[in-house]
Copies of this chain bind each other. A is one copy, B any other.
Amino acid sequence: MSDAKVTSLDVARLAGVSQSAVSRVFSGASASQTTIAKVRAAAEQLGYRPNSLARAMITGKSRIIALVVAYLDNQFYPVAIERLSQALQARDYHILLLMAGNSPEGIDHVMQELMSYQIDGIITASVAMSSDLTDRCAALGIPVVMFNRGQDGTAHSSVTSANVEGGRKVAEFLLAGGHGRIAHIAGWQGSSTGRDRTRGFLAALEEVGAPAPQVIDGMYTREAAAEAARTLMAGPTPPDAIFVGNDHMAFAVMDVLRFELGLSVPQDVSVVGYDDVPMAAWPAYDLTTLRQPLNRMVEATVATLLAEIDDPDRGTEKVEIAGPLVLRGSARIPQGWT
């Protein structure tokens, strides 16, 4: 049946038509029913598939989009990747995966490499791009959508949840629960996501005249968050509620409270997270958390990206999607809350 490489020319010869005819059949251009039939039959017999690289070179569109992700420890990102991948595959796009790692300049290097593959677009998940790289993408006309992170100076589109509002919701919830000593282990303050959640949270507390909570940056890592929890609880007035900047850190905080300090959650301390990763629903944590509407964020991300690919002059877009607070067992639930 199928030997090594079979080209459109081989198919053309077997079908008794020109190579152009074969191309037209497979690229959807017009052709008569008879030639379509002949070409299809010959292609089937030879096991022919059009070479995407050659096609990409001539059309300028590779149908490849680059997905740049910083780390996968936080369960939020594997799940997001899974959804993004499915959504893009369904639209006949393919994903070039790139781990940004922790090297701040290494990413620029690899991104440059990526550019040479004529990718049609870029999705960054929790990764900041150097402004140098940003300019480069703009110059080459490559659309970029930042998933779950904004970046102020740049002209890129972004899709996030309504983080400021989310922070507010958590504050209101904890206040309604009658918590008097509220603390905050923040998401990395170098990220817009972390800053926005913190800002909304603090603003809501301030508006009702609540005392300003103690805030420690958890850097989005288990280690920093655990250390922050220890510091908070060892202080003169240990908190009775902690808002943690994402679920990943919240699990670490709960582990410290329960297994190092022997405290009960939520009897001694209420803990609220952010994201609602699948693990938050596991009974071992049963974490009350503000849900990031992943499916809608993913849909918005691919919709925005593909729209920009189809129409380069479309302009960018900053999408914010609000999510609900999911009430579970890790935080005291105020009277009357559903």
How far is A77 from B122 in the complex, measured between Cα atoms in Å?
Answer: 23
**Cβ–Cβ contact A259 & B284, under 8 A:** yes
Binds B, one of A46-54, A187-195, A295-303: A46-54
* Interface status of A313 (Cβ within 8 A of chain B): no
Nearest Cβ distance between residue A212 and chain B, in whole angstroms? 31
**Cβ–Cβ contact A82 & B94, under 8 A:** no
Contacts of A52 in B (CB 8 A): 113, 116-118
How far is A85 from B114 in the complex, measured between Cα atoms in Å?
Answer: 14
**Cβ–Cβ contact A2 & B85, under 8 A:** no
**Cβ–Cβ contact A255 & B284, under 8 A:** yes
- How many chain copies? 2
**Would you give 8 A-B contacts (Cβ < 8 Å), ordered by A?**
A3-B139, A5-B140, A64-B96, A85-B98, A86-B101, A94-B113, A94-B114, A251-B284
Q: Mark interface residues in A164-193 (1 if CB within 8 Å of B CB, else 0).
A: 000000000000000000000000000000
* Nearest B residue to A51, CB-CB: B116
Nearest Cβ distance between residue A68 and chain B, in whole angstroms? 11
**Cβ–Cβ contact A139 & B2, under 8 A:** yes
How far is A75 from B255 in the complex, measured between Cα atoms in Å?
Answer: 18
* Contacts A85-B98, A116-B50; A258 near B283 (Cβ below 8 A): yes
Nearest Cβ distance between residue A31 and chain B, in whole angstroms? 21
How far is A21 from B49 in the complex, measured between Cα atoms in Å?
Answer: 34
* Interface status of A56 (Cβ within 8 A of chain B): yes
* Interface status of A254 (Cβ within 8 A of chain B): yes
What is the interface of chain A, defined by CB distance below 8 A to chain B? 1-5, 47, 49-54, 56-57, 62, 64, 67, 71-73, 75, 77-79, 81-82, 85-86, 89, 92, 94-99, 101, 110, 112-118, 136, 139-141, 251-252, 254-255, 258-260, 278, 282-285
Nearest Cβ distance between residue A106 and chain B, in whole angstroms? 9
- Which residue of B4, B141, B282, B283 is within 8 Å of A140 (Cβ)? B4
Contacts of A2 in B (CB 8 A): 136, 139-140
**Cβ–Cβ contact B89 & A79, under 8 A:** no
Contacts of A64 in B (CB 8 A): 96, 117
* Nearest B residue to A279, CB-CB: B279
How far is A140 from B1 in the complex, measured between Cα atoms in Å?
Answer: 12
**Cβ–Cβ contact B85 & A78, under 8 A:** no
**Cβ–Cβ contact B110 & A89, under 8 A:** yes
Contacts of A89 in B (CB 8 A): 98-99, 110
How far is A258 from B282 in the complex, measured between Cα atoms in Å?
Answer: 12
* Contacts A78-B78, A139-B4; A49 near B112 (Cβ below 8 A): yes
Given A49-B116, A71-B82, A89-B99, 20 extra CB contacts under 8 A: A4-B140, A49-B112, A53-B56, A53-B57, A53-B116, A64-B96, A72-B81, A72-B82, A78-B78, A85-B97, A85-B99, A86-B101, A94-B113, A94-B114, A95-B96, A251-B284, A255-B282, A258-B284, A259-B283, A284-B285
